[in-house]
């Protein structure tokens, strides 16, 4: 199966500062994993810049202006205590959101069925009005809104297996029945959202997992709750917030997943896309802060997309 890989060297230039977990080495590890011979068939494409029109479908002007404001050379600018911008951050954020939109155009335009966006900064914590949790623009949300506005889709699923709940994505689509948001995540944990009772207009499905949960609990949450809801929704496009920080090696959380769990869930999502969306699936990198886990889990995820 032909899979497109969208990335850009500018995404390596976003530097939140010494010791910050969301470092350029994360993307470098992902790209190194995808340089293995097994991934030679990937169709490698440069991520374009997102347009303001694309961003404004999900973000307020004040947030867009704050992120796009230049950062002085050799300096940093904090948008919240965890979310820091450097001189290279503006282009990186635009490339990350632009990759997601271009990947949607790629799969919906018939060029290929699946795509993976190896980009940073991540996005799923960014709300309509606030950059937070290492996230500047909400890349997957921008892509979903692009698919609705430009391609006229009626049902889009956003699937999120990052260990942290995607509060921004949930917030953006809380009242949007054309978008279903399905998430597994550790609870309690930042950002303290994602309870079972948070259901939007019936389009939000959360499966919180307790600290220490591993493969069995993760697979049960997906098999018993999230995947059936996604099948019932019958999406025309599947978007994935692919965070790999539920891996047992991750230093910022306490779930115990293995690389095989990412391969298993990806295969389930490929099947979902084949049943309902003509195979159309776009995945975007979110979190993951162990470099070894990032290499292993990314290889498992993209390998499953290629089958």
Q: How far is CA 61 from CA 52, 65, 69, 143, 158, in A?
A: 9, 6, 12, 18, 24
Residue 102 is classified by DSSP as H
Does the active-site annotation cover 20?
no
- Each residue of 208-219: b (16+ CB within 10 Å) or e? bbeeebeeebbb
Structural tokens at position 283: 């995945």
Strands 83-85 and 77-80: antiparallel
From 106, 124, 125, 185, active-site residue: 125
Asked whether 102 and 56 are in contact (CB, 8 A), the reply is no
Asked whether 299 and 34 are in contact (CB, 8 A), the reply is yes
Within 10 angstroms of residue 13's Cβ, the number of other Cβ atoms is 16
Residue 21 is classified by DSSP as S
Residues with a known catalytic role: 125
């Amino acid at each position: 199966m032909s899979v497109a890989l969208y990335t850009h060297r500018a995404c390596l230039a976003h530097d939140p500062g010494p010791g910050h977990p969301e470092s350029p080495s994360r993307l470098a590890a992902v790209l190194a994993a995808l340089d293995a011979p097994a991934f030679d068939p990937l169709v490698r494409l440069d991520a374009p810049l997102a347009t303001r029109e694309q961003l404004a479908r999900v973000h307020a002007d004040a947030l867009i202006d704050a992120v796009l404001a230049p950062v002085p050379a050799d300096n940093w600018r904090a948008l919240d205590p965890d979310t820091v911008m450097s001189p290279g951050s503006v282009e990186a954020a635009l490339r990350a959101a632009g990759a997601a939109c271009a990947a949607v155009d790629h799969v919906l335009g018939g060029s290929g069925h699946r795509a993976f966006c190896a980009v940073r900064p991540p996005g799923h914590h960014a709300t309509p009005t606030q950059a937070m949790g290492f996230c500047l623009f909400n890349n997957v949300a921008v892509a979903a809104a692009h698919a609705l506005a430009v391609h006229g889709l009626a049902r889009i699923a956003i699937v999120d297996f990052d260990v942290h709940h995607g509060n921004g994505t949930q917030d953006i689509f809380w009242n949007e029945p054309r978008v279903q948001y399905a998430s597994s995540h550790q609870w309690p944990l930042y950002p303290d959202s994602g309870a079972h009772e948070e259901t939007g207009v019936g389009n939000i499905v959360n499966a919180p997992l307790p600290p220490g949960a591993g493969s069995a609990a993760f697979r049960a949450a997906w098999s018993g709750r999230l995947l059936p809801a996604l099948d019932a929704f019958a999406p025309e496009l599947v978007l994935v917030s692919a965070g790999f920080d539920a891996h047992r090696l991750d230093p910022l959380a306490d779930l115990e997943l293995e690389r095989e769990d990412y391969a298993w869930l990806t295969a389930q999502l490929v099947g979902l896309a084949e049943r309902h969306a003509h195979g159309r699936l776009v995945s975007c990198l979110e979190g993951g802060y162990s470099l070894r886990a990032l290499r292993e889990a990314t290889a498992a995820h993209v390998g499953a997309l290629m089958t």
